[in-house]
Amino acid sequence: MRRGLAAVAAALTIAVGLSACVLDAERREGDELVDEMTDAEFYTLPDDLPAGSPGELIRSKTIDSAPAGTRAWRVIYHSTDMAGADIPVAGLVIVPDLPAAKEGRTVVSWAHPTTGSAQKCGPSLAMDPFELIEGMANLLAAGYAVVATDYQGMSIAGSSSYLLGVTEGNNVLDAVRAGQNVKGIHLSDTVLLWGHSQGGQAALFAAQQAKAYAPELSVKAVAVAAPAATLTALLSDDIVDISGVTIASYAIPAMMAAYADTYTQEEMGAILTPAGLAAAPKIAEMCLLTQNKEIHEISGPLVGGYITSDPATTEPWATMLTENSAGGSPLGIPVLVAQGLDDTLVIPTATADYVKRLCDSGEKVQFNEYEGITHALVALTAVPSVLSFFAAAEKGTAPSNCV
């Protein structure tokens, strides 16, 4: 009899749990539709927007569709680009719906992988803007606050910052400052950086810029998954396939605009064939996650006929790619690097070479390689290691397997 009652109780518990999940999903879906109706107004800024200090909030909006047990906001904040100019940037702030500790919440600043480079491709614009924050639920459950920049030029109007390391790094750090300016959530100055692919490059730049750019922040560690750390290797390795043509079509227009005062459009544009020059701006307006078919239709025929020479060895591209590769200045904090060995986008040997350079320069590095894991899955695969690495880094006991 007791066993029977226990079985009934267990079944009721499961049923109640499933019902709660269904109700929460329905609640979130309805709130997402309401959020979407007001997004256009939120993301439209006046032409005469006054300048502000880095991290200063321009506006914020509660996200009613945040997952159960969390509170979240869309934010637009001031940051700076690689030339030091004031720019508006969009992003997200998410915290557990629990009181913060007396010292405030440690902040994880998330840097997202490639979603595109156009305004419409910004992650915070999505109906469910939390989907691309890999490990978010685990981080919130551990008590962290999470901030997530879109990078300049995404979600709100502005120049593309795709693979422009200094700009992306500033945006990642200023997202923390923006989160600190959201009232009532008490974020501390203790910061951990986490990024995947393009976001790995952004997180590494944030780490190496932090002391000079945001000295009030105490950045304790950086974790990256399949980072786009060495752009010369990335473009040389990938330009032979559709992925490489796509990445280059996001990066080349962004860099040509950013370096317009340094080099002429003719000398920069000479890296592309006439067909490549015509295709790049078209691809740059397409989002990777929602227009993949259209991108492939344009990129496919260009494989083998997109560039005139290897950008890694052709000036001024060799210089521009090197300037936007990680490693230009010391990190000085523990680093976790995760790499899938079945990754065909960020080649495992390129990541291993980057890690070797870090180790040779005296950085403290934990390098985890995963058999059978692709580029898309490496960040999620690494989440348990990231959590333990962050916890150890906060205690000053981060591991290292540098030889």
136: confidence class by pLDDT, cuts 50, 70, 90: very high
Q: Is residue 16 part of a domain?
A: no
Q: Are residues 180 and 262 in the same domain?
A: no
C-alpha R_g of the chain:
22
Q: State the DSSP string of 82-103.
A: TT--EEEEEEEEEEESSPPPTT
What is the distance between the alpha carbons of residues 138 and 166, in angstroms, rounded to a whole number? 29
Which pTM value belongs to this model? Answer: 0.91
Top pLDDT among 219 and 23 is at: 219
Select from 259, 292, 322 the last residue of a domain: 322
Contact 193, 205 (CB under 8 A): no
Top pLDDT among 325 and 14 is at: 325
Q: Are residues 186 and 209 in the same domain?
A: yes
What is the distance between the alpha carbons of residues 227 and 168, in angstroms, rounded to a whole number? 13
CATH number of 78's domain: 3.40.50.1820
**How confident is the model at residue 19, as a pLDDT?**
47
Domain with 307, as residue range(s), is 232-322
- Strands, E, within 7-97: which ranges? 57-62, 70-80, 86-96
Q: State the DSSP string of 236-263.
A: HHHTTSHHHHHHHHHHHHHHHHHTTTTS
Number of domains in the chain: 2
Q: Cα–Cα distances in Å, from 134 out to 109, 293, 389?
A: 12, 24, 16
pLDDT digits (tens, 9 = 90+) for 254-266: 999 999 999 999 9
Q: Which of 167, 209, 173 is nearest to 191 (CA)?
A: 173
Provide the Cα torsion 26, 28, 32, 35; round to 10°. Answer: 130
CA atoms within 13 A on the CB side of 350: 24
pLDDT digits (tens, 9 = 90+) for 199-222: 999 999 999 999 999 999 999 999
**How confident is the model at residue 351, as a pLDDT?**
98
What is the distance between the alpha carbons of residues 202 and 322, in angstroms, rounded to a whole number? 14
**How confident is the model at residue 39, as a pLDDT?**
76
| Res. 71: pLDDT tops 90 | yes
Helix (H) and strand (E) counts for the chain? 12, 9
Q: Are residues 313 and 338 in the same domain?
A: no
10 Å CB burial of residue 336 (0-12, 13-18, 19+) is: buried
Mean pLDDT of 26-30: 48
10 Å Cβ neighbour count for 282? Answer: 12
- In the numeric block, the tokens 């002391």 are attached to 211
Q: Are residues 188 and 271 in the same domain?
A: no
Q: Are residues 54 and 195 in the same domain?
A: yes
pLDDT digits (tens, 9 = 90+) for 137-186: 999 999 999 999 999 999 999 999 999 999 999 999 999 999 999 999 99
Q: Are residues 143 and 270 in the same domain?
A: no
Q: Are residues 382 and 236 in the same domain?
A: no
**How confident is the model at residue 1, as a pLDDT?**
44
**How confident is the model at residue 20, as a pLDDT?**
43
15: confidence class by pLDDT, cuts 50, 70, 90: low
| Residue environment code for 218-242, b if the CB has 16+ CB neighbours within 10 A, otherwise e | ebbbbbbbbbbbbbbbbbbbbbeeb
**How confident is the model at residue 11, as a pLDDT?**
52
Q: Are residues 129 and 273 in the same domain?
A: no
Contact 339, 368 (CB under 8 A): yes
Helices (H), 181-291: 198-213, 231-238, 242-258, 265-269, 274-284
Q: Are residues 250 and 265 in the same domain?
A: yes
